[in-house]
Structure 1
Amino acid sequence: MVINPGVTIGDNSVIGAGSVVIKDIPPNVVAAGVPCRVIREINDRDKQYYFRDYKVESSV
């Protein structure tokens, strides 16, 4: 991954391997490519998948 000087990557964003980031990336998105571009926003389904082994029972 290459990040140009002065470029900001937002909180909670995921940048794909080998990407060249030439402009600011907003928070909570998945971005990749050469040049790097936003592919999609991170949503609740992504968070559930990422934390699938750490689910808390609703009765707690």
Structure 2
Amino acid sequence: APGYPGALYFYAVALAENDRAKEARPYFERLVETIPAEAPFRKSLIEDLNRAGLLPRTTAP
């Protein structure tokens, strides 16, 4: 759904869980770009994605 970041998240998770992490990375990157800096979950999400290697490059929280 346009403007709903949950769609990006769930699609990227589905790809990653089906051994398609390389395809999931751009979706996770786009997701992080849409999350406001003040969102309480942003930092932990970025840390988790970096740890799992699911962002194309290391992203600062």
Give the TM-score normalised by structure 1: 0.25
Rg larger in structure:
1
Return the structure number with greater helix share: 2
Return the structure number with greater strand share: 1
Give the TM-score normalised by structure 2: 0.25
